[in-house]
């Protein structure tokens, strides 16, 4: 049951072959059985899930069901869920029961998807390995000694281990695509503004975007379609109709122009991963695509610019966690300053503090022009690189991550090496473009992903291109043996 | 040494929108603590601001009234600092791209001279909540009802040269925002308040002296006193060989002095940067045109018209146009009774005196403009004298509404029958033979005494013109 696609599950539910309660129960049992090894869930919402499943069964029985009705989902713990703890991977919010739900959560509720629980993540989404979580690291189902990637590491591990059919994630610099790559999943980060940020706890507001991690492009297309759309509560969401992503999946790729940025195939790329990517590109040729080498000359500036802009925004976004109104407050503060210092000092983890410090510094008087302003200029240059490229090609392809899953603890003391995990994904966020990662092969038994980058609002085209690949390959159907 | 004072004001005008600048919560004053603070105002995790378009329109209206530059695009920025009543840990404000750029305001000084004061900019921002330090047993209470209320911060050039000029500017701005109906102007509730940047320099020196900023002045009287105190403090300090330090000071109205709050060294680095949750504000020419249509006649225009249309002096016209509601009241009376000068005198005299004494705005005045019109008409048609009219006014103020009914029931109708007046005068002359003698011997000042006696005898009802005329005739006969 847990290896079926969403379309197959939907058909089984509609035909009465299984009920939503049975399906939900099945995944809840898998979570119970397997998650102690993975640590992918921080909260399991069994009661709510079963109650929602019963409602879904009624809708199905009365013919009022949509395609997703009755299929359970798990939410990254960055999305506020009414009445359920929303901790964002942090001690700061360990006691925070959200009084409201994120738009994404409401939309998927409305679509009839029972919520299995909340997924582990790097603290406030800051990390590429899921090691910064207050709730402990998540293990990669393909190798329990390795990281699942981050920050949506819980989402990736849970779906890869078939503890949930699909899960939401968020992506600020690669946080959907990189864990999808490391766990052998299909993950999509849509165009900035496509999915509402209301109720999604902000890390770097101008970069954060919600998306989905699943087994296939077809699965992602269904759920992304239900999540996307304009929201008056988010001033940066875009008032543009959401296309039917499933309808365009079958468009043939004859004549498709694929751009390969030479900067994405540099010495930092692991040779095994490089081979997987080359093979995938070859496969696209056989599907009728034309491959063109392109240049994104400012690629090398993406990581430095990102590590100014994202920390700058996070240093401000995280100021609200002050111990005054909700969240962690230190014991017996002796005065206001003591309360601020100890509440924040005791509840934020090291990586979050790092970034707050970097961001505060970058915005300080006398440094603003040299750092923040310059980073914004670089951001425009990077955006222009992509604009020029899309005059030439329909899609850009390359590796998602330079390496496969690394060992837990391996990069924990080397932040620069950790930051370079996102070297190929970060530019996409800076430009606000849609990006995907699809499973393209295994390197020494570990999954490696192919990244697809599209022009603004062309997530439909990306899903189509990914789906066509998945029609002729079966990397997306492979699962880690221990969780088959 | 002769000193020159240099003052710049930063006025905070609370905009009269129904909901907050970035959330749907109500802005009504006086609700129970924290009952008007929604998820956005509380800065819960994951919430986002959405700009109130009405606040933008109000700021644009203000800019048009000042004949200011209104850039096509303005940007909201975050001003970062920690304070318990600032839930986000930053204030959403505007920094280098405000909604209203350079404009100006003309003020009239006491000597009648007019000066143009430059307005550097005006920007939109959100207000903070309130910290309550009493009644919490050593703890601080936070009320976030005010958090997120829209403010327009209006920054003047350092072109004001005395406390009096500062007050004149503040008053003019106060009148303007109320004319525009963008602020209720209620200073006691903090809807209209200012910070004053004050420095002194030797007359003739071009460079500015070091300034001190006096925070949160919320009455015209306090502004004047605080500035005068501060100017004296700075001059004394410099003349004693000291130096003014750049700092923030608080005015203590009880002691009538300013006190240091924090120095420049302790000042925050606010780390302004564009707010990534909000798009830049685009102001189209269509919006400018639309808002321009809603501009009322402004105080200066009204003053000029009052002078032309009603032949008022500049002083009277200035006073009557300073408050929109008073101006409108005056105009109804002036047009109704056809005697603009009398209408002006009544509005600035009896009416203002009663309003001030009762401490109520004209909107709550118990005597309507129509009623005052009738009262003045009864003076001009000689039904009653001006003096009796004041008594009638007192009746009207205390709740009566029919002028003629009061005159009838109290028998206040003026006596214009010459023979009756003559009989009263004869009696007065008969009873005061020595004064008659003195008058006839040349002590003409006694005329007033006789008029007074006759008016007294007539209980004020005798027509004063006739009294004068008949008295003169009888005394000189």
Q: Do A102 and B46 touch (CB under 8 A)?
A: yes
Supply angle C-alpha A88, A94, A96, rounded to 5: 85
Q: Are residues B457 and B342 in the same domain?
A: no
Which of B99, B12, B154, B146 shows the shortest CA–CA distance to B278? B99
Nearest-CA distance from A236 to chain B in Å?
Answer: 6
Closest chain A residue by Cα to residue B78 = A316
Q: Would you state the pLDDT for residue A348? A: 98
- Domain end: B257, B290, B323, which one? B290
Q: Are residues B361 and B430 in the same domain?
A: no
Element (H, E) at A285: helix A271-286
DSSP code of residue A369: I
Q: What is the ipTM of this complex?
A: 0.96
Q: Do B271 and A360 touch (CB under 8 A)?
A: yes
Q: Do B46 and A80 touch (CB under 8 A)?
A: yes
Q: Are residues B346 and B431 in the same domain?
A: no
Which of B152, B67, B163 shows the shortest CA–CA distance to B110? B163
Q: Are B461 and B414 in contact (CB under 8 A)?
A: yes
- How far is residue A5 from each of residues A56, A71, A156, measured CA to CA in Å? 18, 10, 16
Assess B43–A contact: CB distance below 8 Å, yes or no.
yes
Assess B279–A contact: CB distance below 8 Å, yes or no.
yes
- Domain end: B290, B316, B339, which one? B290
Dump pLDDT digits (tens) for B154-178. 999 999 999 999 999 999 999 999 9
CA A161 to chain CA centroid, Å, is: 16
Q: How far apart are the C-alpha atoms of B139 and B122, rounded to whole Å?
A: 36
Q: Would you state the pLDDT for residue A416? A: 81
Closest chain A residue by Cα to residue B77 = A316
Dump pLDDT digits (tens) for A186-239. 999 999 999 999 999 999 999 999 999 999 999 999 999 999 999 999 999 999
Q: Do B46 and A98 touch (CB under 8 A)?
A: yes
Range in A309-323, B150-164, B417-431 the model is least confident about = B417-431
Nearest-CA distance from A98 to chain B in Å?
Answer: 8
The residue extents of the domains of chain A are: 6-256+393-483
Q: How far apart are the C-alpha atoms of A443 and A280, rounded to whole Å?
A: 13
Q: How far apart are the C-alpha atoms of B350 and B372, rounded to whole Å?
A: 11
Give the CATH fold of the A6-256+393-483 domain: Amidase signature (AS) enzymes (3.90.1300)
User: Residues B177-182: what's their mean pLDDT?
Assistant: 96
Residue A355's pLDDT band (boundaries 50, 70, 90)? very high
Q: Is the pLDDT assigned to residue B289 strictly greater than 90?
A: yes
Compare B421 and A42 and report the one with higher pLDDT.
Answer: A42
Written in H, E and C, the secondary structure of chain B is CCEEEEEEEEEEEECCCCECCCCCCECCCCCCCCCCCCCCCCCCCCCCCCCCHHHHHHHHHHHHHCCCCCCCEECEEEEECCCCCCCCCEEEEECCCCCECCEEEEEECCCCCEEEEEEEEEEEEECCCEEECCCCCCCCEEECCCCCCEEEEEEECCCECCHHHHHHHHHHHHHHHHHCCCCCCCCCCCCEEEEEEEEEEECCCCCCCCCEEEEEECCHHHHHHHHHHHHHHHHHHHHCCCCCCCEEEEEECCCCEEEEEEEHHHCCCCCCEECCCCCCEECCHHHHHHHHHCCCCCHHHHHHHHHHHHCCCHHHHHHHHCCHHHHHHHHHHHHHHCCHHHHHHHHHHHHHHHHHHHCCCHHHCCCCHHHHHHHHHHHHCCCCCHHHHHHHHHHHHCCCCCHHHHHHHCCCCCECCHHHHHHHHHHHHHHCHHHHHHHHCCCHHHHHHHHHHHHHHCCCCECHHHHHHHHHHHHCC
What is the CB neighbour count within 10 angstroms for residue B321?
A: 26
Compare B383 and B272 and report the one with higher pLDDT.
Answer: B272
| Set of chain A residues whose Cβ sits within 8 Å of the Cβ of B269 | 364-365
* Identity of the highest mean pLDDT range in A395-404, B350-359, B452-461: A395-404
- Domain end: B238, B269, B290, which one? B290
Q: How far apart are the C-alpha atoms of A224 and A245, rounded to whole Å?
A: 8
Q: Do A200 and B88 touch (CB under 8 A)?
A: no
Dump pLDDT digits (tens) for A37-90. 999 999 999 999 999 999 999 999 999 999 999 999 999 999 999 999 999 999
Nearest-CA distance from A86 to chain B in Å?
Answer: 9
- Widest CA span in chain A: 70
Compare B324 and A21 and report the one with higher pLDDT.
Answer: A21
Q: Would you state the pLDDT for residue A301? A: 96
Q: Are residues B227 and B305 in the same domain?
A: no
Q: Are residues B149 and B260 in the same domain?
A: yes
Q: Do A319 and B42 touch (CB under 8 A)?
A: no
Question: In 3-state terms, what secondary structure has residue B108?
Answer: strand
Which of B174, B220, B223, B173 shows the shortest CA–CA distance to B198? B223
Q: Are residues B348 and B444 in the same domain?
A: no
Q: Is the pLDDT assigned to residue A413 strictly greater than 70?
A: yes
Q: Are residues B130 and B48 in the same domain?
A: yes
Give me the DSSP letters along A72-99.
-EEEETTB--TTSB--TT-GGGTT-B-S
Give the active site residues of A.
Answer: 76, 151, 175
Q: Is the pLDDT assigned to residue B115 strictly greater than 80?
A: yes
User: Residues B88-114: what's their mean pLDDT?
Assistant: 93
Q: How far apart are the C-alpha atoms of A344 and A249, rounded to whole Å?
A: 47
| Set of chain B residues whose Cβ sits within 8 Å of the Cβ of A195 | none
User: Residues A31-38: what's their mean pLDDT?
Assistant: 98
Mean of the per-residue pLDDT values of chain B:
93
Q: Do B269 and A236 touch (CB under 8 A)?
A: no
Q: Are residues B254 and B327 in the same domain?
A: no
Dump pLDDT digits (tens) for B205-223. 999 999 999 999 999 999 9
Q: Do A99 and B39 touch (CB under 8 A)?
A: yes
User: Residues B44-56: what's their mean pLDDT?
Assistant: 98
| Set of chain A residues whose Cβ sits within 8 Å of the Cβ of B276 | 204-206, 236, 313
Nearest Cβ partner for B89 among A80, A319, A372: A319
Q: Do B46 and A234 touch (CB under 8 A)?
A: no
Q: Would you state the pLDDT for residue B265? A: 67
Residues forming beta bridges with residue B121, ordered by sequence position: B155
Residue B96's pLDDT band (boundaries 50, 70, 90)? very high
Q: Are residues B375 and B405 in the same domain?
A: yes
Closest chain B residue by Cα to residue A372 = B273
What is the CB neighbour count within 10 angstroms for residue B293?
A: 7
Which of A418, A423, A434, A479 shows the shortest CA–CA distance to A131? A418
Range in A155-164, A285-294, A383-392, B28-37 the model is least confident about = B28-37
Residue B422 sits in which domain range?
A: 418-475
Q: Are residues B205 and B347 in the same domain?
A: no
User: Residues B225-244: what's their mean pLDDT?
Assistant: 96
**Number of structural domains in chain B:** 3
Interface of A with B (CB under 8 A): 79-80, 86, 88, 93, 96, 98-100, 102, 197-202, 204-206, 232-236, 312-313, 315-316, 318-322, 324-326, 336, 340, 360, 363-365, 368, 372
């Amino acid at each position: 049951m847990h290896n079926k696609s969403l379309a197959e599950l939907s058909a089984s539910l509609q035909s009465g072959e299984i009920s939503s309660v049975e399906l939900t129960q099945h995944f809840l049992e898998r979570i119970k059985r397997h998650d102690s090894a993975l640590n992918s869930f921080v909260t399991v919402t069994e009661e709510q899930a079963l109650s929602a499943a019963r409602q879904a069964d009624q809708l199905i029985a009365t013919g009022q069901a949509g395609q997703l009705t009755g299929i359970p989902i798990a939410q990254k713990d960055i999305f506020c869920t009414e009445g359920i703890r929303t901790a964002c991977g942090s001690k700061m919010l360990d006691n925070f029961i959200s009084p409201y739900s994120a738009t994404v959560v409401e939309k998927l509720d409305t679509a009839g998807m029972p919520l299995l629980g909340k997924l582990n993540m790097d603290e406030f989404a800051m990390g590429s390995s899921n090691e910064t979580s207050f709730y402990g690291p998540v293990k990669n189902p393909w190798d329990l000694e390795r990281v699942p990637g981050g920050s949506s590491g819980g989402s990736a591990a849970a779906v890869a281990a078939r503890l949930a059919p699909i899960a939401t994630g968020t992506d600020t610099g690669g946080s959907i695509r990189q864990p999808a790559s490391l766990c052998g999943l299909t993950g999509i980060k849509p165009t900035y503004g496509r999915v509402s940020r209301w109720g999604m706890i902000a890390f770097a507001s101008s970069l954060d975007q919600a998306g989905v991690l699943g087994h296939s492009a077809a699965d992602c297309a269904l759920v992304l379609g239900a999540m996307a759309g304009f929201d008056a509560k988010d001033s940066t969401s875009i008032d543009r109709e959401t296309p039917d992503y499933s309808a365009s999946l079958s468009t043939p790729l004859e004549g498709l122009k694929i751009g390969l940025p030479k900067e994405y195939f540099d010495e930092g790329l692991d040779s095994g991963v490089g081979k997987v990517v080359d093979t995938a590109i070859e496969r696209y040729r056989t599907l009728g695509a034309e491959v063109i080498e392109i240049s994104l000359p400012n690629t090398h500036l993406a990581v430095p610019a990102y590590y100014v802009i994202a920390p700058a925004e996070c240093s401000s976004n995280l100021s609200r966690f002050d111990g005054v109104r909700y969240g962690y407050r230190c014991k017996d503060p002796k005065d206001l300053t003591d309360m601020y210092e100890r509440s924040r000092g005791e509840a934020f983890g090291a990586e979050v503090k790092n970034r707050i410090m970097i961001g505060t510094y970058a915005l300080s008087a006398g440094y603003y022009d040299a750092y923040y302003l310059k980073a914004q200029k670089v951001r425009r240059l990077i955006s222009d690189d992509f604009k020029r490229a899309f005059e030439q090609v329909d899609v850009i392809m390359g590796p998602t991550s330079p390496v496969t899953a690394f060992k837990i603890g391996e990069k924990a003391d080397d932040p620069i090496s950790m930051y370079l995990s996102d070297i190929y994904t970060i530019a996409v966020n800076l430009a606000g473009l849609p990006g995907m990662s699809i499973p393209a092969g295994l390197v020494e038994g570990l999954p490696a992903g192919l990244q697809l980058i599209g022009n603004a609002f062309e997530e439909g085209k990306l899903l189509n291109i990914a789906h066509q690949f998945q029609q002729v390959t079966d990397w997306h159907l492979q699962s880690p043996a221990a969780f088959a | 040494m002769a000193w020159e004072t240099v003052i710049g004001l930063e006025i905070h005008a609370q905009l009269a929108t129904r909901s907050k600048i970035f959330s749907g919560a109500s802005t009504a004053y006086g609700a129970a603590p924290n009952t008007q603070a929604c998820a956005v105002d509380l800065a819960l995790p994951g919430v986002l601001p959405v700009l109130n378009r009405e606040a933008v329109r109000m700021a644009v209206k203000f800019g048009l009234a000042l004949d200011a530059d209104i850039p096509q695009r303005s940007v909201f920025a975050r001003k970062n600092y920690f304070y318990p009543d600032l839930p986000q840990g930053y204030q959403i404000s505007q920094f280098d791209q405000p909604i209203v750029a350079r404009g100006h305001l003309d003020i009239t000084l006491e000597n009648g001279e007019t000066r143009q004061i430059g307005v550097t900019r005006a920007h939109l921002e959100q207000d903070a909540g309130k910290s309550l330090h009493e009644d919490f047993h050593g703890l601080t209470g936070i009320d976030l009802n005010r958090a997120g209320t829209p403010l327009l911060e209006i920054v003047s050039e350092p072109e004001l040269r005395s406390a009096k000029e500062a007050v004149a500017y503040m008053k003019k701005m106060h009148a303007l925002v109320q004319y525009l109906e963008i602020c209720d102007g209620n200073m006691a509730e903090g809807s209209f308040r200012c910070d004053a940047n004050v420095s002194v320099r030797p007359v003739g020196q071009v460079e500015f002296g070091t300034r001190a900023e006096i925070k949160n002045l919320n009455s015209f009287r306090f502004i004047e006193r605080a500035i005068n105190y501060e100017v004296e403090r700075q001059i004394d300090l410099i003349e004693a060989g000291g130096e003014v330090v750049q700092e923030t000071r608080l005015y203590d109205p009880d002691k009538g002095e300013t006190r240091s709050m924090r120095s420049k060294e302790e000042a925050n680095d606010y780390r302004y940067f564009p707010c990534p949750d909000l798009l830049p504000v685009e102001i189209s020419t269509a919006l400018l045109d639309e808002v321009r249509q809603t501009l009322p006649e402004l105080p200066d225009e009204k003053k000029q018209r009052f002078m032309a249309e009603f032949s008022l002096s500049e002083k009277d016209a200035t006073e009557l146009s300073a408050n929109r509601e008073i101006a409108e009241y005056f105009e109804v009376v002036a047009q109704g009774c056809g005697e603009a000068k009398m209408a002006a005198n009544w509005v600035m005299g009896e009416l203002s005196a009663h309003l001030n004494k009762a401490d109520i705005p004209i909107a709550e005045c118990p005597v309507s403009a129509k009623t005052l019109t009738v009262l003045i008409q009864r003076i001009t048609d000689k039904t009653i004298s001006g003096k009796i009219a004041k008594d009638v006014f007192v009746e009207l103020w205390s709740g009566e509404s029919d002028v003629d009914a009061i005159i009838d029931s109290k028998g206040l109708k003026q006596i214009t029958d010459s023979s009756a007046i003559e009989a009263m005068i004869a009696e007065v002359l008969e009873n005061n033979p020595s004064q008659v003698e003195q008058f006839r011997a040349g002590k003409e000042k006694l005329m007033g005494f006789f008029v007074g006696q006759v008016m007294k005898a007539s209980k004020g009802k005798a027509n004063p013109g006739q009294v004068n005329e008949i008295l003169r005739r009888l005394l000189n006969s």
